[in-house]
Amino acid sequence: MEYRQLGRTGVLVSALSLGCSTFGDGTGPEEACAILERGLDAGINLIDTANQYPPVSPGRSEEILGEALERIGDRKRVVLATKVHYRIADDDPNAWGNSRRHIVEQCEQSLRRLRTDHVDLYYVHRPQSSVPIDETLRALDDLIHSGKVLYIGTSTFAAWQLVESLWVARELGLNRFVCEQSPYNLLERRIERELLPMAQTYGFAVVAYSPLAQGLLTGKYDADSLPPAGSRFARMEEFPVMKTRWNPRAFSAIERLRELAADRACTMTQFSLAWCLQQPGITSVAIGPRTAKQLEDNLSSLEVVITDEDGAAVNEVVAPGSMFAPFYKADFGPHTYRW
Q: Which of 53, 86, 122, 184 is catalytic?
A: 53
Helix pair 308-317, 268-277: axis angle to 10 deg: 110
Count of beta carbons in the 10 Å neighbourhood of residue 116:
20
Calpha distance 108→187 (Å, rounded) = 37
Among residues 298, 1, 286, 25, which one has the least CA distance to residue 153? 286
Beta bridge partners of 284: 207
Please indicate whether residue 53 is annotated as part of the active site. Answer: yes
Calpha distance 21→290 (Å, rounded) = 9
List C-alpha distances in Å: 26 to 34, 229, 231, 232, 339.
Answer: 14, 12, 10, 10, 46
Beta bridge partners of 18: 47, 287
Give the residue numbers marked as catalytic.
53
